[in-house]
Amino acid sequence: MATAKPKYYVTTPIYYVNARPHLGHTYTTVAADAIARYKQMRGFDVLFLTGTDEHGQKVERSAKKNNESPIDFVDRVSGEYRELWKELGLRVDRFIRTTETRHAHAVQHLFREIQNNGYVYKGHYEGNYCVSDEMYIDDSTPGATCPECGRVTERVKEENYFFQLSKFEKPLLNYYEQHPEFIQPEARRNEVISFVRGGLRDLSISRTTLKWGIPWQGDEKHVFYVWSDALTNYITAVGYPIKKDEFNRYWPADVHLVGKEIIRFHAVYWPAFLMAAGLDLPKKVFAHGHLLFQDEKMSKSIGNIQSAQPIVNVLGVDALRYFLLREIVFGGDGSFSREALIARYNSDLANGLGNLASRTAAMIGQSFDGKIPKAADLAPQDKELATIAEESIAQVLAQYDKFEFSRALESIWSVIAAADKYLTTEKPWSLSTSDTDQQRRGTILWVTAEVLRIVTALAHPVMPESTSKVWKLLGQPGSLGAQELDSLRWGQLLPGVALGQLQALFPRVEKSEAMERIEAMENQSQKPAAAPTPAPAPQPSVTAAPASAPAAGEKIAIEDFTKVEMRVGQIQTAERIVGADKLLKLTVDIGSEIRQICAGIAQFYEPEKLIGRKVAVVTNLAPRKLRGVESNGMIVAASVGPEGRPVLAGFLEDVEVGARLK
Ligand code: MSP
């Protein structure tokens, strides 16, 4: 009988919507995505949850400051998070918002259970509160600063419902003792244990001084304290309390991934709530460190923000994922710098994986008609490389199991380096065309391609987009993400398989130019978004200029121009589109890849005369469909005369395909 797949449920914190997403939020979500992909490749039925935390004083105030109603405000910012994860291609299964009705029911239900079990009472809280961290600060004098973020706290005196956290001191300590894997890494575990040993005070779990929250049923002047509301998201998302089958399937979560500053909420308060309600505890809470930028924790209030999109626009999403998980040891703090990012990109990706893939494919293309060659008996140096690759499999899986991404990538890249060295020593290109030499060349290239197949599969959880391209390049069937890592072995590469299309995976970038572009885009994106304006009254029908186009003669800043990426492209194929007289469907080589672009030039250019022509291409436009045909870029042309006849922009000197227009 076929056994059902085991489940794996991974979560990120749900992010506050008081500010837009930055690289710190992306860091956790990308790590969770890599875990989700890895577990999927280990045969699990994975559920990956993220979402937004939308209640509380901080959000209420941010909405007010922005002149928006709380609900409009949270809809907008939550949408930005959701869009960003989509843009980055993350395989999020569920996105939860704490303003959903089902979540209000779950919170009310959970705390009613806790109350029925005798762990809730009404009392008065008098003390300090940090709005930025949405955290009560006990034992402090009025006006004291928050020990977490250093901001001045606010004095709070109000009637609250309290949770008897003090009753859970011993049960929690016992639990930590019996489940040493529950809090990780070890340093965080020790920190939590000493905090609990220091004594736990009862926790206020409702507020009466704000409205923007989930009402306490039967006592509606109270709303739930934002953390009691937020933590419950992890069970709401899997059906609590209504969808019992689903809840029983996915709960308890296998891991809550969090930043270290919120470990206490996840490793003390949350398990205590669950114990009080008689529910199972998550299997693991893993707290990673902070991403520092210019030596401080990246945060909106400090103003040292880098967001993901400029990096992705310039270097691609996998470059960002690789950097975050390779450069920073998961669990510790780590610095982000644009310089280090680009250095790693050029050395590890352009010269490393990218170069190995394109060299291998090009040689197989030239000498074996684009088909994987057959290996003869392996020589000792071939076997040595085979052993390195084969042994890396178990090693990398063990490192991924412990979320040691940086070490796993280091192991994978040491195999890439060994393959590079092997090629340099074996020099397949210098062998003659004699039968013996051709056979030796086949063996060398089969060995190299097999190494490439193995490292590609192993790197997939971290670099899904580019490894999928290499997988196709190697002519491998099916989607790489659906492959089972447990069946990955040396020697599975079949000879005779035709290679796919060669694409430049990571074109080398010039450091200062790439840094400038990332910085310019970042500065542009940090400009405050225009306050929402009421929709204009309908106008009589006129041809409107695109909403964002400046009026004729109006000047734009250089950053506006640098947002447009233009490259030299070379037209490879051109054909008419049935039913669209004005459009031609082109494939254009832009250096790093081949793009399909539709151009409205069919009435003025013969398709066959365009082949080989070099043109200017706008390469960073969002893809769109024209007459049902996908167009991924735009060809630049002058618009001449009253009928706007297109005349393609070109170059008098010979220019390299892929060169940037500036
Ligand atoms: N809403 C709460 C979490 C509730 S979970 C039930 C919250 N939100 S937050 O928007 O402040 O997000 C905090 C989380 O974002 C961190 O725990 C971490 O996962 C991520 N990060 C935000 N900035 C970060 C860095 N500078 N570095 C690393 N991670 C960071 O707290």
* Cβ–Cβ < 8 Å for 572, 587: yes
CA of 117 to the centre of ligand 1 (A): 32
195-240: per-residue pLDDT in tens? 999 999 999 999 999 999 999 999 999 999 999 999 999 999 999 9
Looking at residue 420, its pLDDT comes to 97
Looking at residue 559, its pLDDT comes to 63
Q: What is the mean pLDDT of residues 35-44?
A: 98
CA of 152 to the centre of ligand 1 (A): 20
Whether 547 shows a pLDDT value over 80: the answer reads no
The bridge status of strand 94-97 relative to strand 45-53 is: parallel
340-362: per-residue pLDDT in tens? 999 999 999 999 999 999 999 99
The closest residue, in CA terms, to atom 13 on ligand 1 is 15
Average pLDDT, the chain: 91
The closest residue, in CA terms, to atom 15 on ligand 1 is 25
What percent of the chain is predicted at pLDDT more than 70?
94
Q: What is the mean pLDDT of residues 308-319?
A: 97
User: Ligand 1 pocket: which of 130, 228, 262, 305 to mutate (most atoms <8 Å of CB)?
Assistant: 262
The closest residue, in CA terms, to atom 25 on ligand 1 is 24
Residue 17's pLDDT band (cuts 50, 70, 90): very high
Is residue 123 packed enough to be buried (19+ CB in 10 Å), middle (13-18) or exposed (0-12)? exposed
27 lines ligand 1 (CB under 6 A): yes
13 lines ligand 1 (CB under 6 A): yes
Residue 594's pLDDT band (cuts 50, 70, 90): confident
Give the DSSP letter string of 518-551. Answer: HHHHHHHHHSPPPPP-PPPPPPPS--PPPTTPPP
- Nearest alpha-carbon partner for 269 in 228, 235, 241: 228
Residue with tokens 């390299």: 656
CA of 298 to the centre of ligand 1 (A): 10
The CA dihedral of 400, 489, 460, 33, to the nearest 10 degrees, is: -40
30 lines ligand 1 (CB under 6 A): no
Whether 535 shows a pLDDT value over 90: the answer reads no
Whether 553 shows a pLDDT value over 50: the answer reads no
Whether 541 shows a pLDDT value over 70: the answer reads no
Looking at residue 450, its pLDDT comes to 98
612-625: per-residue pLDDT in tens? 899 999 998 887 87
Residue 551's pLDDT band (cuts 50, 70, 90): very low
Helices 435-459, 355-368: inter-axial angle, 10-degree rounding? 150
Q: Per mean pLDDT, which range of 330-344, 460-474, 584-598 is the poorest?
A: 584-598
243-276: per-residue pLDDT in tens? 999 999 999 999 999 999 999 999 999 999 999 9
262 lines ligand 1 (CB under 6 A): yes
Looking at residue 545, its pLDDT comes to 28
Q: State if pTM tops 0.85.
A: no
387-401: per-residue pLDDT in tens? 999 999 999 999 999
Phi, psi (rounded to 5 degrees) for 52: -130, 145
399-414: per-residue pLDDT in tens? 999 999 999 999 999 9
Indicate which atom in ligand 1 lies nearest the CA of residue 13.
5
CA of 107 to the centre of ligand 1 (A): 21
Looking at residue 528, its pLDDT comes to 62
Whether 1 shows a pLDDT value over 70: the answer reads no
Tokens of 248: 């029983």
Contacts of 227 (CB under 8 A, 6+ apart): 134, 135, 265, 269
Whether 558 shows a pLDDT value over 70: the answer reads no
Looking at residue 3, its pLDDT comes to 59
User: Ligand 1 pocket: which of 35, 53, 234 to mutate (most atoms <8 Å of CB)?
Assistant: 53
* Cβ–Cβ < 8 Å for 369, 442: no
Q: What is the mean pLDDT of residues 133-153?
A: 84
The CA dihedral of 64, 69, 74, 75, to the nearest 10 degrees, is: -150
230 lines ligand 1 (CB under 6 A): yes
Q: Choose the most confident range, by mean pLDDT, from 48-57, 142-151, 573-582.
A: 48-57
Whether 158 shows a pLDDT value over 70: the answer reads yes
Whether 80 shows a pLDDT value over 90: the answer reads yes
Whether 331 shows a pLDDT value over 60: the answer reads yes
291 lines ligand 1 (CB under 6 A): yes
Which letter does DSSP use for residue 24 in this model?
H
- Between these two residues, 19 and 288, which has the higher pLDDT value? 288
- Cα(564)–Cα(556) distance, integer angstroms: 12
Give the end-to-end CA distance of the chain in Å, rounded to a whole number. 63
479-527: per-residue pLDDT in tens? 999 999 999 999 999 999 999 987 779 999 999 999 999 999 998 887 7
The closest residue, in CA terms, to atom 8 on ligand 1 is 15
User: Ligand 1 pocket: which of 25, 55, 107, 132 to mutate (most atoms <8 Å of CB)?
Assistant: 25
Q: What is the mean pLDDT of residues 444-459?
A: 98
CA of 157 to the centre of ligand 1 (A): 28
Q: Per mean pLDDT, which range of 50-54, 349-353, 541-545 is the poorest?
A: 541-545
Looking at residue 592, its pLDDT comes to 84
